[in-house]
Amino acid sequence: MMPAVGCGNDEWDLRYLQSGSRCRRSVLRGEEGMQRWKAHYKDILHDTDIEILNTEGDYSTDPLSFTLDGITFQGTGLGDFRLADPERQEEAGRKFALLKWGGHHSKYHVTSPYRYDLQRYALEAEIPVSVFRKRDGQTVGGRILLAFRYERPDMSKSHSIVLCDDERVYRDEAVVSEFSLYVDGKGYKSRKMTLWFEEALKDISAQMKDSYYMKCCFTCQYSDYSPYGSDDYGIMLCYCRHKDACLKVNGKDDFFAFLEGKDFDGRQETYLCSRYSPRDRAAGYRGFVEGVADQGRGGKGTAIQGRQ
C-alpha cells in the first residue's frame, strides 16, 4: 500500500526521481478545442509515458487531466493535479502518494470537502505554443519543455497554511530542472527555475526578443493577471470583449478604473485565438513583454512595466 502524504504520514522520499526522465517529444491535437500533450510520469511505482488532455477551457473547469493505473487526476496547471473522484481515495492511495486536506476547521467554523492532491512524483511535459518570427513575419510552431519533481518540503522554509481538519499538513516542494522554449532548432532556457509561468516566460521573452516573440495570451494586448493574485498557470483574464477599455490601462489604478467588474474569460498563457493582438499599445496591469512592445514601437527602446 502506498503511504499517504499528510494527515499523519510523510515518510515517502523522492530522491530516486533525480535520474533523467524520458519524455516523448510530440504533441497531438484531437477534436476542436482539445490538445493532447505527451509527457513522462515517474513515481515509486510508475515510470511511463502518459497523455495529458487539455480542453483549453476556462480555468474554472480544471482543463488538464490524465489517467494512469486506472486513476484520473485533474488540475488547472501541471503542478496542481488532484484526484478527480474523491470517492476513490482509498484505491488511489494504494497506487499514488496523496496529500489529504480540507474538512472541518474549528477555528474558522468552516467545513469543506476533502481534497487529495498528487504528491511525490516527477513530470516532464511538452506544451505547444505559437511563435512569431521577426525576420520574415511568419508564425511558426514552438514547444515549451517543462520538467520538475515534487519532493519532501524543506521545513526550514516558510510554508503556506494547509489544514486537514484541524491538523496542519505540508505540500511537497517543487524542484524545477528545466523550463525552456524551442523554436527553429534553437533553445531558450529560462534562468527562473519555477512553475510560475509569468516569471519564466518573461525571462525567455527577454532572451529571444531580437528574433522572436510568443504569439499567445501571454503576449496579447487584451489579457492580464488579476491584481488580487494569480496561480502559476492557466488563469489569465481575457478582456477581448472590452478592447477599448484595455487600451486605457497602464497600471493597477487604471485596471480598477476601466476593467474591474467587467466580464472576462479565464485562459491559459499559451492559448491563441483569432482575436489575438500584440501587446504593444498599452501596458495593462502586468506590463509590456520584451520583444513585443519593441516590435510595435519600431524597435525604439524597451517598454517594460512590472506589476505593482
248 vs 63: CA distance, rounded Å: 31
Determine contact, residues 39/53, Cβ cutoff 8 Å. no
When pLDDT is averaged across residues 94-107 and rounded to a whole number, the result is: 94
Q: What is the average pLDDT across 207-214?
A: 97
Please state, for a pLDDT cut of 90, what percent of the chain lies above it: 72
Give me the mean pLDDT over the 253-276 stretch.
94
Cβ–Cβ under 8 Å, residues 66 and 39:
yes
Least confident piece of the model among 13-22, 76-85, 105-114: 13-22
Per-residue CA distances from 209 to 23, 193, 228, 293 (Å): 28, 20, 29, 10
Across the range 160-172, mean pLDDT stands at 90
pLDDT for res 304: 45
b/e sequence 82-103, b meaning 16+ C-beta within 10 Å: bbbeeeebeebbebbbbbbbbb
Are the beta carbons of 99 and 86 closer than 8 angstroms?
no
- Lowest mean per-residue pLDDT among 100-104, 198-202, 231-235, 246-250: 231-235
Bridge partners, 212 (sequence order): 133
Could you give the maximum distance between any two Cα atoms of the chain, in Å? Answer: 62
Predicted pLDDT of residue 306: 53
pLDDT the model gives residue 19: 33
Q: Which residue has 474591474 as its cell numbers?
A: 260
Q: How much is the pLDDT for 18?
A: 33
Dist. CA 273–CA 101, nearest whole Å: 37
Region 222-237: what's the mean pLDDT?
89
- pLDDT (tens digit, 9 = 90+) per residue, 1-56? 555 554 433 333 333 233 333 333 333 343 346 899 999 999 999 999 999 999 98
Higher local confidence (pLDDT), 128 or 161 = 128
DSSP per residue, 155-211: TTS----EEETTEEE-PPEEEEEEEEEEETTEEEE-S--SS-HHHHHHHHHHHTTTT
The pLDDT of residue 30: 38
